[in-house]
Amino acid sequence: MKEKKAGEIESEILLPMLERAISFLTDDMQIKVTSNSAEVFCPNQVELKKNTAMIGTGGSIQVIITMSYDDQLLEKLVEAFLEGEKADEDELDEIRESVSSEIVNTVVGNALTNPLDGTMLTITPPILIYEAKSLFKHKSSRIAAAIVTTEFGDMLLTVIGPKESFANALNFKEL
């Protein structure tokens, strides 16, 4: 198997998810993405937005994936999901939660294959993180992130996983 270098993990896990998130926003939701590209970065800390959904992968590649939304972007996504229908004010929080969960489930489920053998990765049910603040990189973990900028605000995508998992399964080597 080809040796994986720093950055290839991001390209095999985060980039397909990023491409699907952009196509989901533009094609499925008709939301304009204002930047032609989103840079992938590997921070030691990530500030999450208050609207965050999280999903995990199972099998030989185990990572945690989060998608965070600016308030205005999430409101536009909710509007698109409702397709012009009006929702009662007391139902809106539950609808926002459902939309956040459905988007992360759709994007991750459609985007990721196992880089080891090309099979689909198993995913956990999405969960919501309320009023999240920050994710910190532990010395034995790795965070990869990207920001998608739209006309209604940003979507932050992150992938968090243990370095050992990458090292063992993908022959990952630190530079």
- The confidence score (pLDDT) of residue 114 equals 67
Give the helix ranges, DSSP H, for the chain.
Answer: 8-9, 15-23, 71-82, 92-111, 163-170
143 pLDDT band (50/70/90 cuts)?
confident
Question: pLDDT for 5-41, tens place per residue?
Answer: 334 556 677 888 899 999 999 999 999 999 866 778 8
Q: In the structure encoding, which two tokens stand for residue 50, read together?
A: 């208050």
**Crossing angle for the helix pair 15-23 and 92-111, nearest 10 degrees?**
130
- The confidence score (pLDDT) of residue 40 equals 81
Catalogue all structural domains in the chain, each as residue range(s) with its CATH number: 4-173 (3.40.1550.10)
Is pLDDT above 50 for 171?
Answer: no
User: What per-residue string of b and e applies to 12-25 under the rule 16 or more CB within 10 Å gives b?
Assistant: bbbebbbebbbebb
Which element (helix H / strand E) includes 144? Answer: strand 141-150
Q: Yes or no: say if 25 and 31 are a contact pair by the CB < 8 Å rule.
A: yes
